[in-house]
Structures are given as C-alpha cells and as structure tokens.
Structure 1
Amino acid sequence: MPDLLIELFSEEIPARMQTRAADDLKKLVTNGLVEAGLTYASAGAFSTPRRLALSVEGMLAESPTTREERKGPRVDAPDKAIEGFLRGAGVSRDELEVRDEKKGQVYFATIEKPGRPGAEIVAELLESTIRNFPWPKSMRWGAGSLRWVRPLHSILCILSDENGAEVVPLSIDGMAAGDVTHGHRFMGPGAIKVTSFDDYSAKLAKAHVVLDAAKRADTIWHDATNMAFAQGLEVVEDKGLLAEVAGLVEWPVVLMGEIDAEFLDLPPEVLQTSMKEHQKFFSVRDPKSGKIVRFVTVANRETADGGATILAGNQKVLSARLADAKFFWENDLRVAKDAKMQPWLDSLADVTFHNKLGSQKDRIDRIKALAREIAPVVGADPDPAAQAAEVAKADLSSEMVYEFPELQGLMGRYYAEAAGFAPEVAAACEDHYAPLGPSDDVPTEPVSVAVALADKIDTLTGFWAIDEKPTGSKDPFALRRAALGVIRLVLSNKVSASLTGIFFAQLEREYEAVLAIDMHRVSDMHQVGDMHSIGKRPTTPIDEQADDLLSFFHDRLKVHLRDQGIRHDVIDACLAMPGNDDLTLLVKRAEALAAFLKTDDGENLLQGFKRANNIVTQAEEKDGVEYSFGADIKFAETDEEKALFKALDTAEPNIAKAMEAEDFAAAMSGMAALRAPIDAFFEAVQVNADSEVLRRNRLNLLHRIRAICTSVADLAKLEG
C-alpha cells in the first residue's frame, strides 16, 4: 500500500491563512480519495510560509472494481423511458436482464466499474483541488490562468512504497509535478530530491525548514521564555501572536532586544499593543514592577553576528513607532489633566452612533440617566455611577484610542485617573465594556456594574426601538453578545431587579430620541409640511417592545443555563412563573428545581403530579366545571385519603412561606414531603368513585396537589 506525499511550493502565504489552507488541502484530497474508492490509514497536513504539504499513509494502490445493480422501467414501458434508463446506466439493451416482479416484468442493469490506478486518481484529484482551492483571496500571475494565494512555483507529488517512489504524472498550466522541493530561502542548499515523507521532513530540517507549525511555535516559546528567565523577566503570553509569528518563519531564531529608556514609562498595555500590532514583537515584563522592559523578535535566519544587525534595525524601527505612541500619550494626558477630558466629551456630539439614534453624546446622556437609576439596585451611589457613565467613553476621542482602538476603556481608566476622578469612576471606564465574551471576567465593583449594565441595556433597547433586531444568524450590532453580557453581570453579582421595568424606562428614552432626531431632520430639510409623516415616535407600543426584548433575554438565558447542565424543560417550567423578568430569582428557582428532580422524591413526585393533573384536567373537560375548591376531609373514606389531606395542610403553609422568602430549596423540600402520601393515595383510592360526592371531593383534592406544586414551578411543562 503506497504512501502519498504532496507539496505545493509558493511565495509567502499570509500567516493568517496557513492553518486553514492546510486543513482544506487535507479535507479536499482525502475526501476525494475516499469517494474514488481509495481508502487510507492516516493523513497529516502541514504548512510553512512557503509551502502546503500533505502526507497520506497506507493508501490503496488502485480503486476496487465495483458492481452496481440498478432497477429500470417495466418491459412494456415507452421506448423513451427505456432509452433514458440505458443512457443513465451506460449500458445497451442487450445487456439488460428481465426479471418477474409483482407488477410485471422489469428491466435490471448490472453496471460494472473497473478499478483505476491510484496515480491516475490522484492526478485528477490534485489538479481539481489546486484549480478550485478555497483561498479567501487569490491572484493570477504571468500568462497562465491558474489562481493561487501567491505565485505557485512547484508541485511535488509522489507515491512511495518498499520498491521506491514514483512521480504522479500531472501538469497544470505547464507546471509538471516532480519529486523535488526547496529548503530555506536563504539558508537552504537548493533543490532537494525526496523519496518519502520521512525523507522529505528530514531533508527539510537539514535545509533549515521546520515543517510542523506547532513545533515552530513550541521552539519560539521555549527559547523566548528561557531567554527572559535568564534575566529575571517573563514573556507576556499571547497565543494569537505566537501562532501568527510561527506562520511568518520557517526557521525560527529568537532574539531579545532593548527598549529605549525614554519609553519605559509608557503604560505597559501601550507598549505591548504597539509592539504587537506594528512589529509582531512579544513583550517582556519585569514581574516586580509590572513594566514592559524588553521585547522578543523572531528572525527567519541565522546570521554570523548572532542577530545583532537584525536587532539594531528592529530597535530603530521600534523607537520610531514608540515615539508616536509617546506623543499620543503625552498629548492625551494634557487633555485629561488640564480639561478633565471635556474636549473629548464635546467632540462626541459630532460622532454618529446610529443615524436613527443620534450621536455618541446623545447615547451617553441616555446611559448616564439609566446608570443613575440602576445604581441603587446594584448597591452603587447614583452620583459616581452617573459621572462614570458620562466619562466612560471619552477616550474614544483620544489620539491613543484612535491609533489603537483595542485600547478603548483601558486608556479611559488611565485618563480618568489623571483627571482626578474617584478610583471607582476610573475603574468603570475600563470595566464597562465587560464582559465581551463568555470567558471574560465580570465586573463586581458596584459603579462598574451599574455602568456596564446601562451601556449594554441601552444598546439593546436602542436597536429594539428602531426594529433592528437579530434575524437568524445575522447580528450586525452584536446584540446577542450584549444580552449575554447583561445576563452574566446580573447573575454573577446576584442582582435582583425587574428587567421589564428597566426596559420600559429606557425604551421611553429611545423613543424620544428617535422622535427628536426625526424632528431635527424635518427642520434641516425644511419639510415642515410633511410633519404628519416625519417626526413621529416609533409605532410599536413600548410595552410590546419590552416584552419582546424580555423574550430575547429568555432565549439567551436558556442557552446559558443549558451550557451549565440545566434541562430546557426545567427552564420553561420556571419561565412560566410570575417574576420571570428577575433573572437572579429565575435562575435560583431553576437550579433548585433541577436539583430536586435529580432526587427520587423529585422524580416520583413529578409522576404523582402529572397523574393528578391529567385526571383533573380530563374531568374538567368532561364535566364542564372547574374542580378548584371544596375538598373536605369529612368526605375522606380511607386512611390514605385522610393522610393526604393532613400532608397537604402541613405542606401548603410551609411551601408558601418558603416561596415568600424566595427559599426555593425549602419549597422543594416541602414538596418532597408530599411524595409518599400522594403515592399511597393513588395506590389505595379510586378517584372516579360511583358516589358523585366522593368523586367531586377527590377531584378537588387532586386540584390542591396541582395548585401547591405549581406554586413553585409549572411542573406541567416538565418531561417524563
């Protein structure tokens, strides 16, 4: 069974495309092999800046011969139908077999496809793969029609076994496949002939090419961290940068350089961001001071001077970049210290947030009002919360954030501190964007929580007010992420509040904003005569929009809780209860119910409830009455019936008291006490007795079971 080796050698492939391209090559080729009948034992794909490679081991030497039996039309079918079947099967009428079936005689064709040599299949498959490769961007060069991410120089394609290697006969736009590759651009020995994958990878290593991207990344990280450790320093971890740099070099050579002393007082995040974005340098930190004091760069070659010339050039370019960052920093600090960031706040009036929702300044005013209202709910002082909301986005107008947008929020904290704002206000400037993703830390300082909630809720209510809601997989304004952020803020900080009320108040502000903007357009366009059609509030009632937004939150909450192992039907049972706009209360109820249902008492009580509920529901439909009152112990005949009355009398006030205290675990415990008497009742008592008095009394008793159980959650929505 031969092994297949493919290499596509080109000019430098962008680092961000390499991993995906290697995966695509593997998928396209191996899927094609299997479809053609060439099974294989294993496959591995590799990428460097100048090559994509694929190794397929244990492949069949040729595809097997196949026989397919295909049923055709009846013998007495029209000639056109028979001729169509012959064309589709690729056989003649003489080759058809007639068989007797229930509906008459039917034609059958046996189609035999002989096996094909593996080399022939690989050649066809690889040409199709190369010509149709799914690059995000590709180019043509020279006079050929072939497109590739960068000019393709050579194709290596060989099949090898114990008898040696053979080149797969293949030519694309005059480029014939061969058994030759090339090593490192500067340190390689020239053309290299290979006979197998092991030979290929070994000779590339001698030619200063590390084929495996993961090994290149490991080498970079190992050498960089050891170099830093030797000087009592540490490399700032950045997995994304590590993967990118590993895609920029074939032979990684790690070098550590100096940062000019005049830049060491810049915020470490500024240094780190500038070096990463512009130079692809790793930051090296002094763990004692937290300052960035060195950088690590990765060269693609060894030099006689040990990289001194490379470092000198890098340090020169870095100093120019950091001089810009220092200029931005010092200018911004002056605005923060001397003017309390007011010029930035004023300029936000000229920055459009959304053409239907006004400027960033308009939005800040709405967030400020909401943060003041939310503050007492989360244990924050309203005045600092409002102040933090007012200045939290001021850094959007700063020179530093204009240059490095990813530093927004963080620079706001630095500038707020420089302006003399209280520590909790400065912290909120950085924290109010969080959490951005499911793994981000959630703010816990009350002022930060108030502003973060206000910011996200304003985003949601604003786009709800103008009917720009997520549809299907489309969510251009990241509203699902904003809703999940609110959910995590609320649950992590155990915030208990009515979201419907908050939504309603903020939607009122959004509606007024939409009206004001429309009125302004009318004024600008001198269309006062069209006031009946322009300058109106949104038409959907606010309470409907608030309810719709709450449903959106419930959908996101279901996903969030399912990820934590809470069943969807448990969530639905709790959503059906009053107060479902208090997410903390809702989750507390769901967690208690989920835990209860995992016990024997919970599982059995659920069955008892469902039996009681079904009997009462069917009786009410049949009799046209509601059995909701009148159960009296004096009509109880059996001991089990009397015991159930007493158990309900005991449990009902206990459960009601627990529910009032929002102690759902205690309420579940109270329900657990009903399990045994309910089980005993159904074993001993016939509900539909001959006596109508007894029947009505027992149905009313079952209604009590239903009412008590559904006071905790709508158990009818539970499965099982």
Structure 2
Amino acid sequence: MPDLLLELFSEEIPARMQAQAADALRRLVTDALVERGLLYEGAKAFVTPRRLALAVHGLPGRQSDVREERKGPRVGAPEAALQGFLKAAGLTSIDQAKVQTDPKKGDFYVARVERPGRPTTEVIAEIVPDIIRSFPWPKSMRWGSGTLRWVRPLQSILCTFGTEIEDPEVIRFEVDGIVASNVTYGHRFLAPGAIEVRRLEDWLAKLEAAKVIADRDRRKAAILADAKDLALVHGLELIEDEALLDEISGLVEWPVVLMGVFEAAFLDIPDEVIRATIRANQKCFVLRDPRTGRLANRFILVSNLAASDGGAQIVAGNGRVIRARLSDAKFFWDTDRRTKLEDRLARFAQITFHEKLGSQAARIDRIALLARALAPQIGAEPGLAEQAARLAKADLLTEVVGEFPELQGLMGRYYAQAEGLAPEIAAASEEHYKPQGPADRVPTAPVSVAVALADKIDTLVGFWAIDEKPTGSKDPYALRRAALGVIRIVLDNRLRLKLQPILIEASRPILGEAHYDAHPHDVFHLESLADKVVSDLLRNLSRRLVKAGPDTPPGDIARVEGLSMAADLSADLLAFLAERLKVHVRERGARHDLVDAVFALPGQDDLLMIVRRVEALQSFLETEDGRILLAGYRRAVNILRIEEKKDGARYAGPADARRLVEPAEERLAAAIETVKGQVAEAVAGEDFAAAMAALSHLRGPVDAFFEAVTVNATDGELRVNRLRLLDEIRDATRVIADFDRIEG
C-alpha cells in the first residue's frame, strides 16, 4: 500500500516548540485522513531545527465508493420539500428517485446515492494546505507580502505518495506561493544543496548523507553516547540532564560532541551554581570527578558543525563565555557571603507577599511562630525551629538566587553553613520547600519538618482566609501541592498531629488580633472545632453576646467571633485536605470512600490515625464477616430511614431491655452492649484491627435478628423499641466510621 511523506522546511524552529509541533502535525494529518475514510497502518513524525516531517504508512490509493439510500418526503409532499430533498441527494429531477411503500406511512421517495471515491492524492492535496495555514504554533510570524503565518519563514514543502515498488507521485499544491515538490535541503553549512527524494527511507538516507539526522530520538541517543564516551576517556562522569538533552537535540541537526575546560579556581563556587551557570548560558553539560565527588573543571558542549580544526575555535569561544559567566557567579557568591542571612530580613518588610496578606516579613513572622508552636509535637527544639523559619527564605534576597531562582533553598543551606549556623538551620533552609511533587523526597529532620509544615499550612490558611481557593483545574498558588505536601510530611514521618487546632492557631494572625485574642494554649485544646455543630454553637453564642447590650465585654465578643471565623475556615480547609488525602490513599491502593466514612466522624483531624482506620476498615470489609455485617447494617439503616420518614420522628437508642421479648433481639442487644465496650477500648488504644475484630461479633446476632424478628410489629411500643435497637447498630459502627458513606 502507498505511503505519504510530507516535509515542511523552514528557518530554525525554537527547540521548546519542536516536540509539540511534531505531535500536532501527526494528529492533524491522520485525523483528517481518517475523517475522509482513508485508514492507515502507522504514522511517525520527525522534527529537526529546520524541518517538520511526517510519514504515514499503509494508505489506500483511493477512497472507497459510497452507496447509500436517502429517504425523502412522502409522495404528494409540497414542492418546497421535494426541492430540498433533490438538492440534498444531488438529484436533478424527482424522476431519478424511486418510490417505496410503507404499510403505515404510505408511499415515499428514496434516492440511491452513489459517490465514487476520490484518489488519495487529491484528498491529501486538499487537506494539507489547510493544516499548514491553520497550524497551532504557540507563536507565529508573517513575512514578506504573503498571508501565511508560520513559526519562522517557511521555505519549501515536500510531499510524495507511492508504493515501495514504484516511483512515488509528487502531490502538487501551493501554499502562499510555495509549491510542493520532491526536493529538500541538507545541513545549512555542511551540505546546503537541494536533494531530490522519493520516499521515507530515501529521505532519511539522503539527509544523513547531507549531515542531517532527522530522527530526534537518534540525535538524543548519539549526543548522550558520545558525551559519556568523551567523559570516560578523561576519567570523568557525565552529569546527565534529560531536559537539557531534549533542548540541545532541538538545536542541532548534526551533533558533534566536544569538551572544554575552565579555570580550577572557579571550583570554589558551589557545584550547583557552576552547573546552573553553564547550563543556562551555554547549554552545556558538566562533569563529575569520581575521585572527589565534586565537579571537574571541564564541560561538554554539542556543536552543529564538524569543523575543520576539530572544533578548537568552537570550544575556545564557548570557554570564553563560560569563564565570563563563572566570574559573575563567583562575584555573586563572594558578595552574598559578606551579608548575614539575619541582616537581610529587614528588606522583606518592603516586599509584598500578596496584597491581601501583607508583606513577606509578616508572612515570615507567622511561619516562625507556627514552627515554634509545632516543634514540641514533632520533637524539634522550639527556639531552633523558630530561628530556622525566620532565616529559611533569606536567600531569596541574594544575588545568586536572583540570577538562578531554581537554587532557592539550596543556597540558603550554603550560606547558613558558611555562617557557621546550626546544621538543623542549614538543612531547614533547603528542605522546607519539600516535597514539591509526588516524586520529591519528604523532609525527615524534626526542625526541617516543623518549618516545612508551618510554611505550607500558612500558605493554605492564608489563601483560604482571602477566599483564593483552587477552582476546577485552576490552582495559581499551588494549594493542592501544598496540601499534598502536608499530607506526605505527616504520613511519611508518622506524625501524630491534631490539625484542627493547628489550623486555628495559624489563622489567628491572618484573621487579625482585633477579631481574635485567644491564647494559643486555649486554641490547642479546641480539638472538636471541626464539627460544624460546634462552629454553629460558637456563632450563636457570639450573637447572644452581641444582644446582651453595652455591658458585654468587647473582648468576649471579639474572642467568640474570632473563634467562629477560625472554626469555619479550618473546617473548610480540613475538607479540602480530606479530598487530597483521598487522592493520595487511592494512589496507594486504598478506597477513597473509606476516607469519607472516617472523616465524617466528629473531630477527625489526625491524618495518621485516619489512614490507619481506613487501612483497618478496608481489611475488615474484604473479609466475609465485614461484607455480611455491612449488608446487615444497610438493611437496618434502610428500615430506620423509611420508618423515621413515615413517622416524622427520630428513633434514637438505646432500646428498653424490658421490651425485648424475642430471644434474637435479646442476644442482639447484649452483643451490641459488649461490642460497644470492646470497640471503644480498642479505639482508645488505637488498635483499629482489634476494633474491627470486635465489630465482627455483631455479624451473627444481626443476621439472626432479621431472620427471627419482625421490626414493624403490630404493638406500637414494641415496634419503636425495635427501631431503637436498629439505631444502636448504627451507633455501634460509628465509633469506627460512618458506614452510610461506604460504597459497594
């Protein structure tokens, strides 16, 4: 079957756009072919700095013929309906249609439409120009007097179609004065002449002979292999960089790997600064000396030329630029160390963090106070945690971080070490930003953990307080990442933290002391404020205080109002954390509905305990006892709901033991009483597996109850008592989780 080869040859395409452009060309052309009934066997896109190409294999030579019947109006229909039918069917006279009879609808016209398939070359000549004119470049330009917009001036189009055993046909079409042909061009400097090609294999071979490797993956593999070999020859190791390799492969058509040298004196600069300098300014790789573990004073560059002098001038030119940039970096490094981190903090007062959240200085104060408050619960020294939090962001005001923002945190560690500060402070400067993604490591040192948690919690609480929450796919302040960071830090370090009082404490300075002047000691004991009932109670109490008149102490009113605001904020933020926790545990194989079931209980703000409950609950529900008990629970609750809705009453237990007349209900009541005590004791001891084992003892009595007892007895008082007994089943399970929220 014939193959299509399409190449769009232009001036240099920016490296960052190449991969996306290749995917877009493949998708647009193949989708357009399939829409027109031209199915294919395979397609591959190619991209170099100067060409975007596509090969589509196994296309038919022409479209299939189309035969279809088109149903028309009834015989005797108005003239307008008949004319519309003729136009749609492509007929010139109603005599060309046939009449069919339907026993129910009578006689109606039918047109048999036959459309012969078009040659594939015609279809390609039709679709490709439209794709070129509307190609989705992120940025494009128009040049000369034409109307075509392309990423860079388009110079030629190659388009051939044919089988392996015949000379392919050149598909002729024109785009803005450029006529498609079978001609391409080689390397700009090494082989710039025109080249006639036939099909894909011919195109690849002739381009390679003309010093162009058209396959992006082959260029990447060649660069990496040659760079490793050259490093090995000199007893060094290449520091691999996939992003840089991608970029370089988009800058060259004929990669030539060379090695350069810079002065050893520059090795006094931190390795990361050297690497960032060389990478950012010259797109070069750096090398490691395996004997020292430090960088070597050499670099790998990739040229687009096979120079007659072996690349000596290219290496020398790159070396001059790198030396100049490293001189700047060394100046920044030396200058930064002359000012202590502590002395930089005053400048943060003039820098706005967010117009509604104040300055960076105010934010640093909040983080420091929260880190100090968190420290005892994490095992960190409070004073050290506070100092680390105050200095953690000071490197943002240094010259090196100003030049290379990606080094923030890391440079803070270097500056702290240079000042002789405590190792915990240096580590926290680097680690408090972590984790920054699902694959990033989690800090484990207590001081680092305290500062990292304080930083992320302040971010979440702050943007929650000004109602800048994530919406849909939009999350401009990376709040989902911050929430996942809190979750991972807590779970990976197995921290026992009650988040509700922590969130309230974090909200105090943001909501303002004028609204809330409670002492932190009070706040850390308000563990049940996640419960909406408590939040409502606080709000109602504040209203009563306001109504009490002028004698009511203003501080009491402000304190209660502040507690209410903080409780509402923290409850909403806890719900957000629950959603992120569901995503996190689902990725680890746990059921998200079980997170809902546990979170539905009041006061559930200890993430580690929630996950332990979820794990124990999931294990229990996977057993036969768990599945049968869940089915019995649902039967009991469904009966309760129906009867409560019908009666307009709430049948809350406990049941009256004097009205238990059937042996099965007596055994169930006794089992519930025993299980409640065992479950409560196990939960208090945080032994959730034991709690589930105790709960499984209800399975038999529940099954026996439904087999032997009629809940809706004719005796009204007996019926009510049995409904209350069903409520006790619900009450017994809610010590573990809200079984109403369990799916399946």
Q: TM > 0.5 between the two?
A: yes
The one of 310, 320, 324 equivalent to 1:320 is 324
Identical-pair percentage: 54
8 Å contact from structure 2 (residues 578, 595) kept in 1: no
The amino acid across from 1:590 in the alignment is V
8 Å contact from structure 1 (residues 184, 208) kept in 2: yes
**Which runs of structure 2 are paired with 1:451-490 in the superposition (5 Å)?**
451-490=451-490
**Which runs of structure 2 are paired with 1:533-612 in the superposition (5 Å)?**
541-612=565-636
Greater Cα shift, 204-213 or 686-695: 686-695
Q: Tell me, which stretches of 5 or more residues in structure 2 are unaligned? A: 517-560
The aligned residue for residue 290 of structure 1 is 293
TM-aligned CA deviation for residue 91 of structure 1: 3.4
TM-score normalised according to structure 1 size: 0.91
> How has the CA–CA distance of structure 1 residues 664 and 70 changed in structure 2, closer, same or farther, with 3 Å as cutoff?
farther
TM-aligned CA deviation for residue 14 of structure 1: 0.8
Matched position secondary structure for 1:68:
strand
Is 1:275 the counterpart of 2:275? The answer is no
> How has the CA–CA distance of structure 1 residues 539 and 52 changed in structure 2, closer, same or farther, with 3 Å as cutoff?
farther
Matched position secondary structure for 1:578:
coil
The amino acid across from 2:460 in the alignment is L
**Which runs of structure 2 are paired with 1:114-129 in the superposition (5 Å)?**
114-129=116-131
Tell me how far apart the structure 1 counterparts of residues 118 and 473 of structure 2 sit (CA, whole Å).
44
Tell me how far apart the structure 2 counterparts of residues 625 and 143 of structure 1 sit (CA, whole Å).
81
8 Å contact from structure 2 (residues 97, 112) kept in 1: yes
Tell me how far apart the structure 1 counterparts of residues 568 and 407 of structure 2 sit (CA, whole Å).
38
Tell me how far apart the structure 1 counterparts of residues 9 and 327 of structure 2 sit (CA, whole Å).
40
Spell out, residue by residue over 1:222-277, the C-alpha distance to the aligned partner (whole angstroms, 9 max, x if none).
Answer: 22222223333222221111111111111222122223111011101101111111
The aligned residue for residue 137 of structure 1 is 139
8 Å contact from structure 2 (residues 655, 722) kept in 1: no
Tell me how far apart the structure 2 counterparts of residues 85 and 275 of structure 1 sit (CA, whole Å).
71
Tell me how far apart the structure 2 counterparts of residues 539 and 696 of structure 1 sit (CA, whole Å).
40
The one of 169, 176, 180 equivalent to 2:179 is 176
The amino acid across from 2:32 in the alignment is G
Spell out, residue by residue over 1:61-105, the C-alpha distance to the aligned partner (whole angstroms, 9 max, x if none).
Answer: 111111333344445555444444444444345144444443554
The aligned residue for residue 491 of structure 2 is 491
Greater Cα shift, 89-98 or 324-333: 89-98
Is 1:707 the counterpart of 2:710? The answer is no
Greater Cα shift, 411-420 or 219-228: 219-228
Greater Cα shift, 317-326 or 76-85: 76-85
TM-aligned CA deviation for residue 677 of structure 1: 3.8
> How has the CA–CA distance of structure 1 residues 496 and 85 changed in structure 2, closer, same or farther, with 3 Å as cutoff?
farther
Matched position secondary structure for 2:159:
strand
Matched position secondary structure for 1:264:
helix
The aligned residue for residue 523 of structure 2 is none
Spell out, residue by residue over 1:23-75, the C-alpha distance to the aligned partner (whole angstroms, 9 max, x if none).
Answer: 10000100011111111111111111111111111101111111333344445
Tell me how far apart the structure 2 counterparts of residues 313 and 515 of structure 1 sit (CA, whole Å).
64
The amino acid across from 1:463 in the alignment is F
> How has the CA–CA distance of structure 1 residues 643 and 333 changed in structure 2, closer, same or farther, with 3 Å as cutoff?
same
Spell out, residue by residue over 1:622-653, the C-alpha distance to the aligned partner (whole angstroms, 9 max, x if none).
Answer: 45451512353994544x55554554344222
The aligned residue for residue 312 of structure 2 is 308
> How has the CA–CA distance of structure 1 residues 462 and 4 changed in structure 2, closer, same or farther, with 3 Å as cutoff?
same
8 Å contact from structure 1 (residues 616, 627) kept in 2: no
Tell me how far apart the structure 2 counterparts of residues 646 and 625 of structure 1 sit (CA, whole Å).
23
TM-aligned CA deviation for residue 550 of structure 1: 2.0
The amino acid across from 1:282 in the alignment is F
The aligned residue for residue 519 of structure 1 is none
Tell me how far apart the structure 1 counterparts of residues 247 and 18 of structure 2 sit (CA, whole Å).
9
The amino acid across from 2:685 in the alignment is A
The aligned residue for residue 211 of structure 1 is 214
8 Å contact from structure 1 (residues 434, 452) kept in 2: yes
Greater Cα shift, 373-382 or 642-651: 642-651
> How has the CA–CA distance of structure 1 residues 419 and 51 changed in structure 2, closer, same or farther, with 3 Å as cutoff?
same
**Which runs of structure 2 are paired with 1:101-120 in the superposition (5 Å)?**
101=102, 102-120=104-122
> How has the CA–CA distance of structure 1 residues 659 and 74 changed in structure 2, closer, same or farther, with 3 Å as cutoff?
farther
**Which runs of structure 2 are paired with 1:58-207 in the superposition (5 Å)?**
58-75=58-75, 77-94=77-94, 95-101=96-102, 102-161=104-163, 162-188=165-191, 190-207=193-210
Tell me how far apart the structure 2 counterparts of residues 409 and 298 of structure 1 sit (CA, whole Å).
31
TM-aligned CA deviation for residue 549 of structure 1: 2.0
**Which runs of structure 2 are paired with 1:216-365 in the superposition (5 Å)?**
216-293=219-296, 294-335=298-339, 340-365=340-365
8 Å contact from structure 1 (residues 282, 297) kept in 2: yes
Tell me how far apart the structure 2 counterparts of residues 114 and 514 of structure 1 sit (CA, whole Å).
82
Tell me how far apart the structure 2 counterparts of residues 674 and 468 of structure 1 sit (CA, whole Å).
47
Greater Cα shift, 13-22 or 570-579: 570-579
The aligned residue for residue 653 of structure 1 is 677
Greater Cα shift, 674-683 or 605-614: 674-683
**Which runs of structure 2 are paired with 1:425-440 in the superposition (5 Å)?**
425-440=425-440
Tell me how far apart the structure 2 counterparts of residues 437 and 85 of structure 1 sit (CA, whole Å).
60
Tell me how far apart the structure 2 counterparts of residues 240 and 462 of structure 1 sit (CA, whole Å).
34
The aligned residue for residue 697 of structure 2 is 673
Matched position secondary structure for 1:6:
strand
8 Å contact from structure 1 (residues 631, 698) kept in 2: no
The aligned residue for residue 653 of structure 2 is 628
Spell out, residue by residue over 1:199-221, the C-alpha distance to the aligned partner (whole angstroms, 9 max, x if none).
Answer: 11122222222221111111111
> How has the CA–CA distance of structure 1 residues 346 and 685 changed in structure 2, closer, same or farther, with 3 Å as cutoff?
same
Question: Aligned residues, how many?
Answer: 695
Spell out, residue by residue over 1:271-304, the C-alpha distance to the aligned partner (whole angstroms, 9 max, x if none).
Answer: 1111111111111112342311121111112223
Tell me how far apart the structure 1 counterparts of residues 78 and 351 of structure 2 sit (CA, whole Å).
74
Tell me how far apart the structure 1 counterparts of residues 639 and 117 of structure 2 sit (CA, whole Å).
67
Tell me how far apart the structure 1 counterparts of residues 87 and 604 of structure 2 sit (CA, whole Å).
65
TM-aligned CA deviation for residue 512 of structure 1: 2.4
8 Å contact from structure 1 (residues 13, 49) kept in 2: yes
> How has the CA–CA distance of structure 1 residues 645 and 114 changed in structure 2, closer, same or farther, with 3 Å as cutoff?
same
Tell me how far apart the structure 1 counterparts of residues 514 and 210 of structure 2 sit (CA, whole Å).
66
Tell me how far apart the structure 2 counterparts of residues 403 and 205 of structure 1 sit (CA, whole Å).
40
Spell out, residue by residue over 1:397-431, the C-alpha distance to the aligned partner (whole angstroms, 9 max, x if none).
Answer: 11111111111111111111222221111111111
Matched position secondary structure for 1:284:
strand
TM-aligned CA deviation for residue 680 of structure 1: 4.0
Tell me how far apart the structure 1 counterparts of residues 79 and 509 of structure 2 sit (CA, whole Å).
75
Greater Cα shift, 548-557 or 507-516: 507-516
Matched position secondary structure for 1:469:
coil
RMSD, aligned CA: 2.5
The amino acid across from 1:180 in the alignment is V
Tell me how far apart the structure 1 counterparts of residues 348 and 79 of structure 2 sit (CA, whole Å).
78
Spell out, residue by residue over 1:677-701, the C-alpha distance to the aligned partner (whole angstroms, 9 max, x if none).
Answer: 4334434444445666765554444
> How has the CA–CA distance of structure 1 residues 97 and 608 changed in structure 2, closer, same or farther, with 3 Å as cutoff?
same
> How has the CA–CA distance of structure 1 residues 379 and 465 changed in structure 2, closer, same or farther, with 3 Å as cutoff?
same
8 Å contact from structure 2 (residues 667, 701) kept in 1: yes
The amino acid across from 1:480 in the alignment is R
Matched position secondary structure for 1:429:
helix
Tell me how far apart the structure 2 counterparts of residues 546 and 204 of structure 1 sit (CA, whole Å).
64
TM-aligned CA deviation for residue 319 of structure 1: 0.3
Q: Tell me, which stretches of 5 or more residues in structure 1 are unaligned? A: 517-536
The amino acid across from 2:445 in the alignment is E
Tell me how far apart the structure 2 counterparts of residues 626 and 7 of structure 1 sit (CA, whole Å).
77
> How has the CA–CA distance of structure 1 residues 187 and 367 changed in structure 2, closer, same or farther, with 3 Å as cutoff?
same
Greater Cα shift, 462-471 or 613-622: 613-622
